[in-house]
């Protein structure tokens, strides 16, 4: 399976790229610029031995070439990036990791935003009506993903309206050691899944003070 990570140069995208490369999938790291995508590919090649199943591309080309897409950009960039890949994403599956957060994870604020469309993944589905959007990877941290020599002791909550796409996605995600997928139901359940993340981040920050 050829997987494009759209916005794959950030923390979450790079971690997912590494895990799918390790699983033997063909991975394309997408970026707004080829230079940045290539830098991310070079970084992964420095970390892992003998990587041949990884390449760089600009987001629209990555989307066109791949069978399955993963979106890992901040909420503020979600609409523009989705519009830029609309043609390539048509008829395909897109796993959306977008969190409805006011700032990036790791920032001082992790306040939840309440979107008129419901969940960020529901917004993605409205922008790409001819793509099967699945909410995924929201509750797995980039830290866990980047700790690539260790299994991830965490379930991956997913939701979506197309059962076949969820089965495809679950098979891919469960190639990551330690991860079990939990199908939480229709896409609208993303409204709950996506909000677990800011809650957990807030609790972790409180605990560590
Ligand atoms: N980090 C986590 O632990 C975690 C966990 C669960 C969910 N998530 C979600 O995953 C998504 C990505 O998080 P992240 O931590 O990987 O974010 P990040 O490090 O800020 O990376 C996001 C990527 O988005 C791209 N991008 C597109 N348009 C942009 C713009 N206008 N300004 C800046 N960057 C832009 C950038 O790639 P190019 O510059 O190469 O185009 C950047 O590398 C978020 O929605 C977040 O809520 C993150």
pLDDT digits (tens, 9 = 90+) for 136-151: 999 999 999 999 999 9
Output the pLDDT for position 104: 54
> Residue 111: which domain range?
2-208
84 lines ligand 1 (CB under 6 A): no
Output the pLDDT for position 197: 86
In this structure, which residue's CA is closest to atom 24 in ligand 1?
73
pTM over 0.85: yes
Domain containing 132 — which CATH number?
A: 3.40.50.720
**Considering its fold, how many domains does the chain have in total?**
1
How far away, in angstroms, is 97 Cα from ligand 1 center? 9
How far away, in angstroms, is 77 Cα from ligand 1 center? 8
Give per-residue pLDDT as tens, 19-71.
999 999 999 999 999 999 999 999 999 999 999 999 999 999 999 999 999 99
How far away, in angstroms, is 7 Cα from ligand 1 center? 6
192, 120 Cβ separation under 8 angstroms: no
* Token pair of 31 as six digits: 């970026």
Question: Is the per-residue pLDDT at 10 higher than 60?
Answer: yes
5 lines ligand 1 (CB under 6 A): no
* Token pair of 90 as six digits: 């048509």
In sequence order, what DSSP letters do the residues of the chain get, joined into one string?
-EEEEETTTSHHHHHHHHHHHHTT-EEEEEESSHHHHHHHHHHHHHHSSS--SEEEEEHHHHHHH-SEEEE---HHHHHHHHHHTHHHHTTSEEEE----BSS-TTSS---B--BTTBSHHHHHHHH-TTSEEEE-STTS-HHHHH-TTS----EEEEEES-HHHHHHHHHHHTTSTT-EEEE--SGGGHHHHHHHHHHHHHHHHHHH-
How far away, in angstroms, is 143 Cα from ligand 1 center? 14
Phi first, then psi, for residue 2 (nearest 5°) are -95, 120
């Amino acid at each position: 399976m050829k997987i494009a990570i759209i916005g794959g140069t950030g923390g979450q995208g790079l971690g997912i790229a590494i895990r799918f490369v390790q699983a033997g999938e063909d991975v394309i790291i997408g970026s707004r610029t080829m230079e940045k995508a290539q830098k991310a590919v070079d970084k992964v090649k420095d970390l892992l031995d003998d990587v041949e199943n990884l390449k760089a591309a600009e987001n629209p080309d990555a989307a066109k070439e791949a069978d399955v897409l993963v979106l890992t950009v901040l909420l503020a960039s979600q609409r523009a990036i989705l519009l830029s890949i609309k043609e390539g994403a048509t008829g395909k599956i897109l796993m959306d990791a977008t969190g409805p957060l006011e700032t990036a994870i790791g920032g001082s604020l992790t306040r939840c935003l309440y979107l008129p469309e419901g969940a960020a993944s529901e917004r993605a589905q409205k922008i790409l009506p001819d793509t099967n959007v699945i909410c995924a990877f929201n509750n797995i941290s980039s830290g866990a993903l980047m700790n690539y020599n260790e299994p991830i002791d965490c379930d991956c909550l997913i939701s979506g309206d197309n059962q076949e796409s969820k089965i495809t996605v679950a098979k891919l995600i469960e190639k990551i050691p330690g991860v079990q997928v939990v199908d939480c139901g229709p896409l609208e359940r993303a409204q709950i899944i996506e909000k677990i993340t800011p809650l957990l981040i807030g609790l972790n920050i409180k605990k560590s003070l």
